[in-house]
Structure formats: structure tokens, C-alpha cells
Amino acid sequence: MLIKIESLTKRFGTATAVDAAEIRVEKPAMIGIIGRSGAGKSTLLRMINRLTPATSGRILVDGTDVLTLKGAALRRWRRDCAMIFQQFNLVPRLDVVTNVMLGRLNGHSALASAFNVFSEADVRQALAHLDRLGIAEHALKRAEALSGGQQQRVAIARALMQDPKFVLADEPIASLDPLNAQVVMDALRRIHVEQGLSVICNLHTLDTARRYCDRVIGMRAGRIVFDGPAELLTEAM
């Protein structure tokens, strides 16, 4: 088993944002989480990689509850589950290839650029990721000069530099036009198929989930109201 989430809750004051009874990911999968705005999708993903503290519950990964991890083990876990955000979260003035290499550092970005800590192997690997994502020609441009779809592919390359076991994508295409959305979803799907990684992405349209995901988790008011193959998802969601 890869991940088993049990009775995971998040309360903000008296409001319950997430109350997820159980989610199991037993083999690598491309999973879409769908539900209206406010359903708890983002909070759920952020609890998994410990960006948001959970109120109660367990997230077992190969038997270890990641909610109990501290220090080096917590940093290791955060590296294992790379995160992709709606707004890309690149460093706008840094060039693309450096943005990608920041994935190696897990957040110590200012230090990295100040001390130039990257090796030639890092550069080569970053360029290879950019090449596979079709944006190698932009490697030396500032991130801010790229289109949204290109920036999101840079963020995917940065995620891959972490050598993650999972990719967690929080509304990865919500800021993109349909064509770029397709390019980015294709890239995430390829990561799952070719590298055997689990990709869990929050999506707000059923169509996207049906098209790209083998499995869909439906959330409503913090609860899991559907979990199964996209074909079985009814319009009730």
C-alpha cells in the first residue's frame, strides 16, 4: 500500500473544512479530486504534504503516519510529495533552468542563488526535464517572460527535480486557457504513465477528470462522496 488516509479532519474554528473517512492509494494512479469551490480539496492536499496541519486523523505511508514526522524525516516526506500550485509559484526574475533546479533544494532558494550551489549534473538533469516537457528553448529566459502554460510546465520540471514519489497538483490548470490546460494535463498524465508516479490533482471540472484520470474522488462539504473510476461518476457530483 502506498497511502492510506484514515479519519482525516481539518477544522478552522468551528467550521469543518475536511472530514475524510478513508482514502487508499494502493498502486500508482492518476487521481482527480473534484468538487465545488470550498469543498475541501485544497486543504486535503495541503494536509498530505504538511503545508496545513491536520486537526485529527492519520496519513499512513508504508505504515508510517506522516502527520507525526519531524525534522529530516519531514523534509524527506515533503520531497517525496512534490506540489504544483494554481499560480505556478516560480521565482519570477530567476531564469527557468534555475527555477527548475530549486526543486533540488526544497525551499532554500535565496541561499541557492547566492552561493551557486548547483552541479553540472543538476543543470543537465534540469535541461532534460525541460526538454521532455517541450520548453528547453526557454531555459535561459526569466520565468516571468513565459506564458502560463509554459510556467506550469516549468513548475512540473521543478517538481520532478525532487525525485518525488507522488505529485500533488492543486488546481494546476485553473489559471490556464483550454489549450494550455490540455498540454499541462497531458504532461501530468505522462509522468504517471511513464514514470509510474501517483499524480493526485484537484480539478474543478468533471470533464477534465474523466478525460485524464483513472480514478476520481468527489468531495462535498469536506466529505468524500465518491471514489471510483471516472466512468461511474454520475452527474449527481
Residues that bind ligand ADP (CB under 6 A): 12, 17, 35, 37-43, 86, 171
State the nearest-atom distance from the C-beta of 204 to ligand ADP, in Å.
Answer: 8
Residue placing its CB nearer to ligand ADP in the complex, 32 or 35:
35
Residue placing its CB nearer to ligand ADP in the complex, 52 or 109:
52
CA distance 165 to 105: 16
Please report, for residues 34, 41, 100, 223, the alpha-carbon distance to residue 38 in angstroms, rounded to integers and kept in the order given.
11, 8, 31, 11
Residue placing its CB nearer to ligand ADP in the complex, 136 or 225:
225
3-state secondary structure 126-182: HHHHHHHCCCHHHCCCEHHHCCHHHHHHHHHHHHHHCCCCEEEEECCCCCCCHHHHH
State the nearest-atom distance from the C-beta of 131 to ligand ADP, in Å.
Answer: 31
State the nearest-atom distance from the C-beta of 202 to ligand ADP, in Å.
Answer: 6
Instruction: Say if CB 82 and CB 90 are below 8 A apart.
Output: no
CA distance 143 to 81: 23
State the nearest-atom distance from the C-beta of 167 to ligand ADP, in Å.
Answer: 17
Residue placing its CB nearer to ligand ADP in the complex, 78 or 138:
78
